[in-house]
Amino acid sequence: YWRPLIRGINDTDAHIEKAAQLSNFAHATAFTGLFLREEIRAHLRGLGLEDVYADVARRKVMPQELERRILSRSKASKLFRKTSCAVAHAWSTHDYNGHVGLPDLCDICPPEQVRRCKAAFVRPKLEEVLRLASIAGLDVEAVTVEDDRIFVSNSSEEQRYFLQHSLNFQVHDRAHPHTPGRHGRAEIGWTT
> In the prediction, which pLDDT does 96 show?
93
Mean pLDDT (10-residue bins), the chain, 192 residues: 88 92 90 90 92 86 90 81 94 95 89 96 98 98 96 97 96 88 74 68
Give dist(CA 167, CA 151) in Å, integer: 13
Give dist(CA 138, CA 64) in Å, integer: 33
Radius of gyration of the chain (CA): 18
CB 79 within 8 A of CB 24: no
- Alpha helices by DSSP H, listed for 32-154, are 38-46, 64-73, 83-90, 111-120, 126-135
pTM of the model: 0.87
Q: Name residue 192's amino acid.
A: T
> In the prediction, which pLDDT does 74 show?
75
CB 34 within 8 A of CB 188: no
CB 73 within 8 A of CB 17: yes
Delimit the domains of the chain by residue range: 2-91, 126-167
